[in-house]
Structure 1
Amino acid sequence: MLNVLLVEDDIDLAVTVVDYLALENIHCDHASNGVAGLSLLEQQRYDVLLLDLNLPRLDGLSVCTRLRQQGNDVPVLMLTARDQLTDKLDGFQAGTDDYLVKPFDLEELVVRVMALSRRRSGQVQKLRCADLEMNLASHETMRNGRVLKLSPTAWKLLECLLRASPRPLSREQLMQAVWGDEQPDSNSLKVHLFNLRKQLDQDGELPLLHTLAGTGFALREQADDGQNS
């Protein structure tokens, strides 16, 4: 079941959307203002964020901007009564992935939600895991205040792992993401992951890159099965 968050101050509309999504087997939490919405987003992971533009306490553009600055890559569907091009451009600049102008058809809303749920947002500016931070704008990666020196391949691997974190990625998923259809021999991935781990996990630091037997690789603070290599 998809897990969606709706941040909307129009209670009647919110009730209608939540009930309709439930009929489509989509669970939807609701917050009535921007501050409450951010709080929920910090507490759990959502597949899609439905975000009203005009919100009390903190407007939709500000919510979206803060999410992207924090490294949250949840896909954002902005709900707005404004259909001017400048308003949409402002939204995309803040990190919105798609727009739906009010009043909208609920069937179209579901179609948009399903499409966005299949990917994480490319609008995010920073990716984080524990004290590790990747800044996509400046192309710089730091852990605990030290700059990591990454090869282009190591950068791609780390970006993939960070975007998926804490979920694991299989060897095949990593190979496809980094090299596409022109893949090197299987030992290449092993070597690049070994070198990436040396950069990430130095003496005294909590290991972040984990090898999960029979599953793949994950970037997280602790391996669920206790296995790490």
Structure 2
Amino acid sequence: MKLLVIEDNHALVANLFAYFEARGHVLDAAPDGVTGLRLAAANHYDAIVLDWTLPRMDGVRLLQALRQSVRKDVPVLMLTAKGETADKIEALRTGADDYLVKPFDLAELEARLLAQVRRARGEVTDARLQVCDLVLDLSTAEISRGGQSIALQPATRRLLEVLMRASPALVPRERLEEMLWGDDLPDRDLLRSQMHVLRRAIDVPFALKLLHTVPRAGYRLAAATDDDDHEDD
């Protein structure tokens, strides 16, 4: 995706660039509404991430101008600290395609943007990952198994997504650790702790176990077979 981020919080913008560029996306940024509108008019973007409270022109006024005269079709996701229902309704009525309240999870933001881009392109894509009866909806970040909703913290949900995308193949420990912590690996074996949390959420209440440990190698997500190693955290 090519994204335009219109946001005056420089630390947040830096975090967005670090996350999205590492995943192959291209970003431009604008620190105020006037600059953001100018960039939106001059360039093609797959989607726009728009803050509400901006210098020079607020997000709602920018959105109105965008829909009326500049780019009527580009997906816009409002990313703002304004979390009241009335604020969400105003933004959506003005022309926002989606709305996410700060603080937020980067993986969820990416999933929502990808879903909006697919819709704008008219693509029919199953935005779900599924292993047996375990389902992760990428457009909403909702998780369920056997129809039962499962709540996970963002880091644990990212682990689950990586395992589901790779299923039934093994994912090495090193890849999972790098995904969570980059080069700044923790002193303790926090990956083991995260996997314990994930196993309790997706396996303990169910008869069929899906999360498997391969000693000294990594983890995989798949239906158990007779030759599986003994599973442990």
State the TM-score, normalizing by the size of structure 2: 0.50
1:180-191 → structure 2 map (5 Å cutoff): none
**What CA deviation, in whole Å up to 9, does each residue of 1:32-57 have, x standing for no partner?**
00000011111111000000011010
Cα deviation, 1:96-126, whole Å, max 9, x if unaligned, reads 00001000011111101111111339xxxxx
Question: Does the residue aligned with 1:118 lie in a helix, a strand or coil?
Answer: helix
Aligned partners of 2:14 and 2:70: how far apart in 1? 30
3-state SS of 1:119 partner: helix
1:48 matched residue in structure 2: 47
For structure 1, the 5+ residue unaligned runs are: 122-229
Asked if 1 retains the 8 angstrom alpha-carbon contact of 2:40 and 2:70, the reply is no
CA distance in 2, matches of 1:96, 1:19: 25
TM superposition outliers: structure 1 runs of 4+ over 3 Å: none
SS at match of 2:74: coil
Quote the Cα distance in structure 2 between the aligned partners of 1:107 and 1:93.
26
Is 1:66 equivalent to 2:65 in the alignment? yes
Paired residue secondary structure (2:55): coil
- The aligned residue for residue 200 of structure 1 is none
The CA RMSD measured in Å over matched residues stands at 1.2
Q: Is the 8 A contact 2:41 2:70 kept in 1?
A: no
Tell me which residue corresponds to 1:25.
24
CA distance in 2, matches of 1:71, 1:40: 10
Note the residue ranges of structure 2 that are not aligned, 5 or more in a row: 122-233
Letter in 2 for 1:103: P
User: Could you tell me how far 1:71 is from its partner in structure 2?
Assistant: 5.2
Match of 1:113 in 2: 113
Offset from partner CA, 1:192-224 (integer Å, 9 cap, x none): xxxxxxxxxxxxxxxxxxxxxxxxxxxxxxxxx
Distance (whole Å) between structure 1 residues aligned to residue 39 and residue 66 of structure 2: 12
1:113-169 deviations in Å (ceiling 9; x for gaps): 111111339xxxxxxxxxxxxxxxxxxxxxxxxxxxxxxxxxxxxxxxxxxxxxxxx
Amino acid at match of 2:85: L
1:5 is matched with: 4
Rounded to whole Å, the distance in 1 between the matches of 2:38 and 2:94 is 19
2:85 maps to 85
Which secondary structure state, in structure 2, belongs to the residue aligned with residue 79 of structure 1?
Answer: strand
Tell me what 1:38 maps to.
Answer: 37
Output the CA distance in 1 between the equivalents of 2:120 and 2:112. Answer: 14
Separation in 2 of the partners of 1:33 and 1:119?
A: 28
Aligned residue in 2 for 1:76: 76
- Per the alignment, residue 13 of structure 2 pairs with 14
